């Protein structure tokens, strides 16, 4: 399926997760829905053995859990699982880390915030704040299993998966807990036009009303929402790992604008704001694809073979390099398109 000019907002009842069996291209809600009573979050498809040499350069790194770049400090931060740590690299010298920061447990997601990177450590119920590029570590306890962190002024927003909540932590006020009709708070993102939370169990996006302290409207995000990223136009892009698609949402109002087919196990995603490219990893094919998303529908511009199990990806926006991480220990791969 190609571009959808507009897909109607779908109410998400509390009884279960909705499965959209067909699409609507007008403004009438689609009633062809099925309720799944025991939802399961989508995961990355298992990759086959590599048969094509990965593009670019590959550097030895153990199992990569997450990647992020920081343009201000010219750093690449890699979360590895064993031993649990963050490796901070100089973007100009990726052959060896400049600093390694030990963590109490494996980090799940990384977010750059000012001069820090925020790392969620759900197994230890904490959020790690690590300075860039120095590596000074501060840990913030969080009740439950934090899945992602996001700075918002003097506060830090934390999605807490098991508590189905967004926790607002502030040094100037006590913590606030925002809950609603979500099943699992798996990521929290700021689009510039508002905050949304990704719910992998409901495979949906929900608006977060910080002023009112509540979860707002929700919208279905494919058959298996996996990962999400924002762009510079206030949009949210979501990979649908089950249906093989790239979804584009506006947030004022929350509306599905595009559903573009991306077969091959779409999973990891990163956005290059300088070039308007969304990079999507395909774990069933050991590939990464770059889509120009500035127009009416995504246009494929680049496709490269990758290391096995390319679950994570990030972009060096200054140079346009793409960094892919292997979740099974085959290293990090650096590609210059």
Mean pLDDT by 10 residues, the chain (337 residues): 34 32 32 52 97 97 96 96 96 93 98 94 97 96 96 93 95 86 96 94 96 94 97 96 97 93 98 97 98 95 98 96 97 96
Instruction: Give the position of tokens 């977010």.
Output: 111
The predicted structure's pLDDT at residue 38: 64
Looking at residue 16, its pLDDT comes to: 31
pLDDT at 36: 53
Instruction: State the pLDDT at residue 39.
Output: 87
Residue 6, pLDDT score:
36
Whole-number pLDDT of residue 172: 78
Whether domain 231-336 has CATH 2.120.10.30: the reply is yes
What single-letter DSSP state applies at residue 182?
-
- For residue 171, the model assigns a pLDDT of 80
Q: Indicate the domain borders of the chain.
A: 231-336
> Distance of CA 223 to CAs 43, 116, 243, Å?
12, 34, 6
**pTM attached to this predicted model:** 0.89
Instruction: Please spell the DSSP secondary structure of 127-176, one letter per residue.
Output: EEEEETTT--EEEEE-SS-EEEEEEETTEEEEEETTTTEEEEEESSS--E
271 burial class (0-12, 13-18, 19+ CB within 10 angstroms)?
Answer: buried
């Amino acid at each position: 399926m190609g571009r959808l000019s507009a897909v109607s907002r779908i109410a998400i009842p509390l009884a279960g997760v909705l499965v959209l069996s067909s699409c609507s291209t007008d403004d009438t809600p689609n009633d062809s829905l099925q309720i799944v009573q025991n939802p399961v979050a989508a995961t990355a498809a298992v990759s086959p053995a590599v048969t094509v040499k990965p593009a670019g350069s590959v550097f030895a790194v153990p199992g990569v859990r997450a990647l992020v770049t920081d343009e201000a400090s010219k750093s690449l931060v890699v979360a590895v699982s064993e031993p649990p740590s963050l490796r901070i690299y100089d973007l100009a010298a990726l052959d060896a880390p400049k600093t390694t920061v030990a963590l109490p447990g494996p980090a799940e997601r990384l977010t750059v915030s000012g001069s820090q990177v925020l790392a969620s450590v759900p197994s230890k119920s904490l959020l790690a704040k690590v300075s860039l590029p120095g590596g000074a570590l501060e840990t913030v306890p969080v009740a439950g299993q934090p899945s992602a962190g996001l700075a918002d002024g003097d506060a830090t927003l934390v999605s807490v998966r098991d508590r189905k909540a967004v926790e607002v932590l502030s040094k100037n006020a006590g913590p606030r807990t925002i809950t609603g009709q979500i099943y699992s708070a798996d990521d929290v993102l700021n689009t510039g036009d508002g905050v949304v939370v990704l719910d992998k169990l409901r495979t949906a996006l929900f608006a977060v009303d910080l002023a009112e302290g509540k979860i707002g409207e929700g919208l279905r995000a494919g058959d298996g929402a996996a990962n999400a990223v924002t762009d510079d136009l206030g949009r949210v892009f979501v990979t649908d790992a089950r249906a093989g698609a790239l979804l584009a949402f506006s947030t004022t109002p929350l509306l599905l604008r595009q559903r573009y087919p991306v077969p091959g196990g779409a999973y990891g995603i990163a956005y290059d704001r300088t070039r308007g490219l969304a990079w999507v990893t395909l774990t069933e094919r050991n590939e990464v694809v770059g889509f120009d998303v500035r127009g009416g529908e995504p246009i494929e511009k680049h496709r490269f073979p990758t290391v096995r199990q390319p679950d994570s990806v990030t972009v060096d926006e200054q140079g346009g390099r793409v960094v892919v991480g292997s979740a099974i220990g085959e290293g990090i791969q650096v590609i210059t398109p």
